Amino acid sequence: MRQSKLFGKTEKEERGDSTLASHRLLVKAGFIRESVAGRYFLLPLAMRVFYKMTAIIRDEMNKKGAQEMISPTLHPLELWQETNRDNAGNFGLMLVEDRRGGKFALGGTAEEMFVDVVRKFQLSYKDLPFNIYQFSTKFRDELRARGGLLRVREFVMKDAYSFDRSAEEFKKTYDEMSDAYFASFKRMDLEANKVLADNGYIGGEYCHEYIVDCAVGESRYLVTADGSYLAHEDVAEIALPPMNGDEEIRDMISIEQPAWVKTMADNQKFHGAPAWKYLKNVVYRRSDTGEIIIVTIRGDLDVNKTKLEKLMGAIELLEDATDDDLAKLGTQSGYVHSWGHAATYVADLSLYSVRNFIGGQKTDTTDTTDVNYGRDFKHSIEADVALAQPGHFTKDGKELFERRGVEVGNIFQLGTHYTNKMTNATFMDEAGTPVPYYMGCYGIGVGRTLATVVEVHHDDKGIVWPKSIAPYLVHLVALNNEEGEIRDWADGLYTNLQAAGVEVLYDDRDARAGEKFADSDLIGLPYRVVVSKKGKAEGLYEVVERATGEVKKVSETELFALLGVATV
């Protein structure tokens, strides 16, 4: 490709003030342009990367026997109604109506569509297992889009849906998909971590996210030093050993306490005890029903809203209670009681780990102490709703550390979550009995993964593309090409490289050497091959490897050898 005619120019200055390198560099280097917030054009350079990435993913999926197909973009809304997902949670399903009144969803995922196409066939146990997937545009009506391709409202996702006969057979499929994911990311030079995660509105019993560590990532997870436990903060579980198991249990008493003692800091100042000794009450309101939920938790812990939402069947529906909400309960911030308000109480399991809590019934002048959970109060809803933090320990006693990264893929066990809800989603077993399919689903966001590669592989000059997915292998940079002789020499090399099957971007522009080198670093192809007047005199090309900065002077034969192709 001659750069003079390439659609998608580099820019000298960075636009905007994005903190994301992938956003800044992909725009500046001419890979992407925003249409409106969260919706991007992939320009020709990005398109080439995109196809190389999809080819890798396809190859790894096909190796596992998965079969590619494609579903319509508009999903009949009846299908989403069959599984109660048309309004489950607040996850940004976009709706569209045709002029005959037909209602459709612009899906962010396609479980219902794939179950629907499968149930159009009368399949038997002999036809199973199978795994079908597509690359297709997905839509999420995100409230906030981040800059660049990391969190968008429209994106291409590879989504696969497996159909097995049983939980046991499924385990093999799940592991195979995990292998395919690791292999795919590795081929893109991404080191992914397989992290236990929350399944959100997808459903099922367990799932994993593939997270590539990176400071700007939005996924926070906890990991042990030996890597035996990796769990997203949404689901990470911690050990809750007794904090003061040898302390004698005392009778609850009411004490005098000044009105200024409201926050945890106030309490510690007033009582001198550590944070875990206090009862903490956190209040939420369901945005759909208005229900008030009070979580009582050990004072040193925070509430994990994702765990709580899942527990309460209120995915993306819990909001922090306002002063108004508290006033309606007859209380105010700092005065919420651990029992007794007209609200739904949830007790975190950490309440069992402390004897003789301080707090629980604060008034203007008093509070309670030596409160013991299970004796002085007990809630019918008890669950783990605590947020894991670095320094906490796993249940088997290993310290947890914090990491951040970008979620580039995920795999879900679905079991019969969908096939039980949807009619006729069954196959015939050997006895002729209809049995619901046992399912899994598996997603990779292609654009987000592309951006993650840039987050991980760049320097202060620009992108450093891995060879496997670089838009071109070689950036042929012609200097002094205003001179016919040099231009002819460069043209000749361009022709020969292409004839040998090498993908070349040829900077044939009238521009200064400095500009060409800066653009070349910015675009970030693996090899820069410089044709110059000086080189012509020596019969040599200068080759610079982008990743290492290593410079070599080589003949055409040596160049072809270095690129691993036969001379024409």
Binding site for a copy of itself (CB under 8 A): 1, 4-9, 33, 35-36, 39-44, 46-47, 50, 65, 67-76, 92, 94-96, 98-100, 102, 106, 113, 116-118, 120-121, 123, 126-127, 130, 132, 137, 139, 141, 143, 153-154
Structure letter (DSSP) for residue 495? H
CA torsion sign for 40, 44, 49, 51 is positive
Considering the complex, what minimum distance in angstroms separates the CB of residue 348 from a copy of itself?
Answer: 33
Residue closer to a copy of itself (CB basis): 9 or 395? 9
Spatial distance between the Cα atoms of 380 and 378, rounded to a whole number of angstroms: 7
Spatial distance between the Cα atoms of 474 and 502, rounded to a whole number of angstroms: 8
Closest by alpha carbon to 502, among 523, 518, 520, 526? 526
Spatial distance between the Cα atoms of 193 and 420, rounded to a whole number of angstroms: 32
Residue closer to a copy of itself (CB basis): 95 or 561? 95
Considering the complex, what minimum distance in angstroms separates the CB of residue 487 from a copy of itself?
Answer: 16
Residue closer to a copy of itself (CB basis): 191 or 319? 319
Considering the complex, what minimum distance in angstroms separates the CB of residue 31 from a copy of itself?
Answer: 10
> Which DSSP helix (H) or strand (E) runs through 281?
strand 279-286
Residue closer to a copy of itself (CB basis): 136 or 416? 136
Structure letter (DSSP) for residue 356? S
Question: In a 3-state reduction of DSSP, which class is residue 314?
Answer: coil
Per the omega criterion (within 30 degrees of 0), is the bond before 466 cis? no
Spatial distance between the Cα atoms of 343 and 339, rounded to a whole number of angstroms: 9
Considering the complex, what minimum distance in angstroms separates the CB of residue 23 from a copy of itself?
Answer: 15
Looking only at the bridges linking them, the beta strands covering 400-415 and 219-224 are antiparallel
Residue closer to a copy of itself (CB basis): 126 or 245? 126
Cβ–Cβ < 8 Å for 198, 234: yes
Considering the complex, what minimum distance in angstroms separates the CB of residue 69 from a copy of itself?
Answer: 5
Structure tokens at 82: 């069959």
Residue closer to a copy of itself (CB basis): 2 or 194? 2
Q: Which residues pair with 102 in a beta bridge?
A: none
Considering the complex, what minimum distance in angstroms separates the CB of residue 406 from a copy of itself?
Answer: 21
Residue closer to a copy of itself (CB basis): 35 or 433? 35
Considering the complex, what minimum distance in angstroms separates the CB of residue 193 from a copy of itself?
Answer: 30
Tokens 């292609």 map to which residue?
446
